[in-house]
Structure 1
Amino acid sequence: MKSLAAALLLSAGLPAVAAAADFPADRIIAMASGDWNKDGTPDLALVATPGADGADDNGLYVYLAKPEANRLTLALALPNSVWGNLTMSGQEPELTALANGSFTLTTKNEAIGRERWRETLTIAYRNFDFIVAGYTYASYDTIAEDGGENSTSDCDLNILTGKGKSNGQAVAGKPQFVLLRDWNNGIPRSTCGLDN
């Protein structure tokens, strides 16, 4: 079985010289490559299924390239942090590299129950760590009879400025610099009034 290290190094265009991690590549369910730290060398982010550690949720792992050493180095490991699965269509986590060097992590439920939702974190590399720069959320009720304003909700918030929109209206909260490892969805949901 291919090792994760080989898959990671090959995806970043680096030779498979040193092990970046030691779990099988078939645990990877989403990945994106971009220049997170803007040093001119491709880096990698991936979501992997839980191992034998008893975790319920997937993990997010972010690697930075070390071109002088021909390898990727694990910069952030957040096991048991990403909701979703591959068993049910419409619940697969997604990673997308952005042109500005950030990336997005999307979780969703577009398959089961009456409330369908999609949530995206925009993740950026600042001050030698990964932060949450933006939050986007949309949901709808599949069986709401009126189909009116109570059947849908949305939020698009710049975490760094505290400004955004919720259900079509401008909202403003406290500007924040939140490390990804310390992230709590209550931050934007409170500003957007999603938990009222």
Structure 2
Amino acid sequence: MLFPFARLLWIASAYAAISSLPFPAVAQGSAAGAFAPEDIVAVATGDFDGNGTMDAAMIVLPLDEDATDSDLYVFLEGAGEDTPPGKLALALHRKAAAWGAGPLMAGQVPQLTALENGSLRIETENTGIGRNAWQQKVTLAYRDGRFRVAGFTYEAYDKLQEEDPLSCDLNLFAGTGELNGEPVGFKATRTPFEDWTEDDAFRICGIG
């Protein structure tokens, strides 16, 4: 579990990432005001839409205390006619985008990573509790004005080593991947993240 002091340091580092952007963080009227600073779980900054300016993404605890998944917010600099240059505007908000909601234990905290190619990776896991551990990565790429699911990676293993581990890595744009080291092929997709579910990826990976 994150202790209060460690939690405070983490929030400070998250806000440092946002405040390092060379402009006021968020345009007025965005949905960012719907959550409190202490609800922010993960932050990533990068040029997600490839226009040469810095954007930001956050995983935020859900407003519903009974929810089991956290929300994703992605802000783009100067996006939309009503957003002036130097301001971030909300480009994507998906509820229940990342497994894990408070109170989060070690081995359950969602993460965000801005990749060098401009993609955004959502990482979730349950490696801290229970016998069966898993890690999942969903990679988003900004194409044709939408954040689309470009990649899916899933790894699972039995801590007692009585069951075979699972390793699945899919390039959804290309329709190719590997399942336990063997090549797999499937229909390529470019699904917007707000419309995407894990079902097809799980089926290809033999999960469930």
Aligned to 2:55: 43
The CA deviation at 1:53 is 7.2
- Pairing partner for 2:177 from 153, 159, 164: 164
The CA deviation at 1:134 is 0.4
Aligned to 2:6: none
Distance change in 2, residues 1:54/1:153 (3 Å): closer
* Residue correspondences, number: 187
Distance change in 2, residues 1:98/1:75 (3 Å): same
Distance change in 2, residues 1:141/1:52 (3 Å): closer
Aligned partner of residue 73 in structure 1, secondary structure: strand
Distance 1:91 1:164 in 2: 26
Alignment of 1:1-196 (within 5 A): 10-15=19-24, 18-19=27-28, 20=30, 21-22=32-33, 23-51=35-63, 55-66=67-78, 68-85=84-101, 87-145=104-162, 150-195=163-208
Distance 2:161 2:114 in 1: 35
The residue identity in structure 2 corresponding to 1:187 is D
Distance 1:26 1:37 in 2: 27
The CA deviation at 1:52 is 5.1
Q: CA RMSD in A?
A: 2.2
| Larger proportion of strand | 1
Distance 1:108 1:17 in 2: 29
The CA deviation at 1:9 is 5.7
Unaligned runs of 5+ in 1: none
The CA deviation at 1:194 is 2.8
Distance 1:95 1:117 in 2: 17
The residue identity in structure 1 corresponding to 2:59 is V
The CA deviation at 1:79 is 1.9
User: Quick check: 77-86 or 151-160, which moved more?
Assistant: 77-86
Distance change in 2, residues 1:29/1:171 (3 Å): same
The 8 Å contact of residues 11 and 33 in structure 1, kept in 2 or not, is answered as no
TM-score (norm 2): 0.82
The CA deviation at 1:170 is 0.6
The 8 Å contact of residues 103 and 123 in structure 1, kept in 2 or not, is answered as yes
Equivalent pairs: percent with the same residue? 40
Aligned to 2:7: none
Distance 1:82 1:158 in 2: 20
Distance 1:16 1:34 in 2: 13
Distance change in 2, residues 1:18/1:144 (3 Å): closer
Distance 2:23 2:36 in 1: 18
Distance 1:26 1:74 in 2: 19
Distance 2:40 2:85 in 1: 24
The 8 Å contact of residues 153 and 170 in structure 2, kept in 1 or not, is answered as yes
